[in-house]
Structure 1
Amino acid sequence: MKSKGIRYSALWLSALLAVIFAVGIIVNLGLFFYAVISFSGKGREPKVSMYAEMLEHTNSGYLLPAEAADKLTENHYWAMLISDTNGEVLWSYDKPPEVPEQYNFSDIAAFSRWYLTDYPVKVWTVEDGLFVLGAPKDSIWKNPVEMSMDQLNFWPVWIVVALVCNFLVIFGVSVWMSGRRYKERDAARIEWIAGVSHDIRTPLSMVLGYAASLENDGEIPEKKRQQAGVIRQKGEEMRSLVADLNLVNRLEYAMEPLKKESLSMAALVRETAANFLNADLDEKYPIEVEIHPTAAALQTYGDRALLVRMLGNLIGNSIRHNPQGCSIRIELGAERKLFHLTIQDNGAGFTDEQLTLLRKGTKHETSSGSGLGLRIVKRIVEVHGGQICFRNILEGGCSCTVWLKAGDKR
């Protein structure tokens, strides 16, 4: 299981790609309809109504203005006027020879909307009869289209449904592609971290072994033995950092199997505090523990090793970042089947940068290098279904509060 940040990033990327594709589809449809409207309403095609109204009835017959006639010739159009009494052609302009000179009602009904001897035609009713405007052969495509009102009303719904379906398909494909990309990246990262940790472990063990041997060798000067002790101490810190890196990597991608059991949080808190005190902790780091009766009567269900690691990291963080010393207070209470564990000190506190990074859940360490240990704490709390809050105290120092599920002792 990936972290929330990665999942949200993948979903946002997929949604963005889907929106882009959906907008592309809408734009293409808009351009298509614009082209259809433009070609149907503009273009060079002469309008039959305009020419029918321009045809004048004079004493000598019918007359089409020279400008209109030239326009018909330019577009290879022809025209004629059919009498509404006997069906004879009263007037024509550039009429092809194969077009008849006489028509009955059946003939007019047959060609009025379609073709006349393979010529696409349009008609317009005038005072003296029927005005016919003919276009060149194979210049216009005509097809009968009929649609009920139910079908016509359904079209807008169908278009919306089609767009939604296309969006969902695109979004699904984007999620799948993004998921594959993140899986490949995560697999490469896990493999790289595991490889580096393995490569460091062997030489680091040799450094620690030689440093311990030199530190305990009474034949070398005291100063040299102290230097060997520093090397051993720093080597152990490096080994701890490598272990922390492996742990946070396993927690981040759910590679750490949880060995959950019923545990007493009160006992874990006392045990962890006692371990620090028994490890010859400097007197400038007094630890005070307060367990409320309600918390002592409840248990939690979790991984003992991880919860102890969480407590140890929080206490150790106060000690490590306050070399001048500080008082550490641990308080465990419970309310409404929920533990609230608070560990606070009166030391230097968090910087604004550290608080911002901790609250955002960023994967980057803070500038002071304190990010990895607290990141492990956050992941342990999250895998146990809890919540965590970091803050500074007005009087000085910092505080961390953890909420975990609680239940009755069995």
Structure 2
Amino acid sequence: QKDYSISQLSDGLTFENGAYILSGGVRDSIVKQYQWAMLLNDDGNVVWSLNLPGDVPLKYTVSDAASFTRWYLNDYPVHVWRRADGLFVLGSEKDGMWKHDIEVPQKVMDNTLIWLPAILILNAIIAILLALLLGLRLFRSLKPLAKGIEDMAEKRPVELSTNGLLGDLADGINRTSAQLAKQEAALAKRDNARTTWIAGVSHDIRTPLSLVMGYASQLEDDSELPQSRREQAGIIRRQSEQIKMLVSDLNLASKLEYSMQPVRKTAVLPAVLLRSVAADFLNNGLDNIYSIDVIVSDNAQSTVVTGDEELLRRAVSNLISNSIRHNPNGCAIKVTLEKGLGNCSLCVSDNGVGFTHEKLDNLNAPKGSAELENHGLGLTIVRQIVKAHGGTTEFRNLPGGGCTVILCLPISNEVLN
């Protein structure tokens, strides 16, 4: 049902056959939009009404009509429409509408086109100033929060003020920082306990293992024993040496993983180091089914890297040992050194069985050292040592069979004789 204007409501009241008739739609609109209605004739008498309250008079003088025309009639807000046959009055419920007359000097109205734009401009300036003020306040509140988040990312303790506009957010950052600190402390405690336990076990195993190796060596060299017994003693000695190396690898891998192994960096000549490692293998009774060749390019003879010589020696030894261990039928091992732009490439390759595709994918994946333990501690330690020296490790299979491991290390500007 649509709303009607006062003139439309007035037009809905017609005089027919000596009586006033109000259409149904107009009646419903009067009841909905107002409360009551009446029609005064020119003599001031009520000649028609609808829902007229009992406290509304039925007779009005000219002064009465003039007083309520724009305001109230007995506290009823009224609206009036002039008709040819009288005055049509619509009334609302008491206290249902506030009516007030506004008077403005003509001079003010004449200057409206001047002061209205000025007021709008002033309001715009005030709005801009408020926006800048609030933005500055918000920026000042966000600045310590951003610093706190940066400190939290760097694992530094954060304690922000919880006062101000973003106090709740600052409190949340403080609580998160405290939780992260607790977690970091718990992880550090666990890692220290693990490293300490591994170091303790390694120390406890070392003494009885040395006794086993000593007695096995004596039995191996005892000419009074049968040859078969001496060979069995030799197997015990070699396996004991293998266990000793595994225990040492486990201890070193644990320390490297948690950055507890000191890296004593000095100037190192990789060419000299490679020849020394190869000589150690050849001089320690390497089986004739294995061969080791060291090839150093001319421009890499005097190349210098800054690193821990013992750790780098360990990495190369582990790669050569890995080739020997996984090729029991023998293989040719080649160790090469080449100089590149700002780095040197140290490669250990063999013509043995190589890596399986699954193992190769896992070795080259960007995983942590702990995830490589299924592939042997030797390769795990190689990756950790190279990483500690700021280098990279790459594992490949060779087209004709065998595999190669490439260690890429940054070179130093030092010159050594």
> TM-score when scaled to structure 1?
0.62
1:271-294 per-residue CA deviation (whole Å, 9 max, x = no partner) reads 112222222322322222211121
1:143-187 per-residue CA deviation (whole Å, 9 max, x = no partner) reads xxxxx85668959x9699649757755654454343223212212
Q: Which runs of 4+ in 1 moved over 6 A?
A: none
Instruction: Choose 52-61 or 207-216, whichever is displaced more.
Output: 52-61
1:337-396 per-residue CA deviation (whole Å, 9 max, x = no partner) reads 3111111111111112322332233414465xx420011111111111111111111211
Matching residue of 1:142: none
Matching residue of 2:120: none
Give, as a single letter, the amino acid of the residue that structure 1 aligns with 2:35.
E
Aligned-partner Cα distance in 1 for 2:352–2:52: 107
Q: Does 1:90 align with 2:80?
A: no
1:297-331 per-residue CA deviation (whole Å, 9 max, x = no partner) reads 32111111111111111111111111111111121
Matching residue of 1:291: 296
Aligned-partner Cα distance in 1 for 2:74–2:307: 101
Give, as a single letter, the amino acid of the residue that structure 2 aligns with 1:318.
S
Q: How does 1:104-143 map to 2 (within 5 A)?
A: 128=91, 132=95
Q: Does 1:324 align with 2:291?
A: no
Matching residue of 2:256: 251
Matching residue of 1:349: 354
Matching residue of 1:225: 230
Alpha-carbon contact 1:354-1:366 (below 8 Å) kept: no
Q: How does 1:364-403 map to 2 (within 5 A)?
A: 364-365=371-372, 367=374, 370-403=375-408
Q: 1:382 to 1:327 in 2, by over 3 A?
A: same
What percentage of residue pairs aligned between the two structures are identical?
37
Alpha-carbon contact 2:34-2:91 (below 8 Å) kept: no
Alpha-carbon contact 2:265-2:306 (below 8 Å) kept: yes
Q: 1:384 to 1:55 in 2, by over 3 A?
A: same
**Corresponding pairs, count:** 293
Give, as a single letter, the amino acid of the residue that structure 2 aligns with 1:306.
L
Aligned-partner Cα distance in 1 for 2:289–2:52: 118
> TM-score when scaled to structure 2?
0.61
Matching residue of 2:193: 188
Of 271, 276, 281 in structure 2, the residue corresponding to residue 276 of structure 1 is: 281
Bigger radius of gyration among the two: 2
* Secondary structure in structure 2 of the residue aligned to 1:373: helix
Aligned-partner Cα distance in 1 for 2:317–2:194: 27
Aligned alpha-carbon RMSD (Å): 3.6
Aligned-partner Cα distance in 1 for 2:169–2:343: 43
Alpha-carbon contact 2:344-2:408 (below 8 Å) kept: yes
Aligned-partner Cα distance in 2 for 1:396–1:90: 107
Aligned-partner Cα distance in 1 for 2:288–2:214: 30
Give, as a single letter, the amino acid of the residue that structure 1 aligns with 2:261.
E
Q: Does 1:201 align with 2:206?
A: yes
Of 15, 30, 36 in structure 2, the residue corresponding to residue 57 of structure 1 is: 36
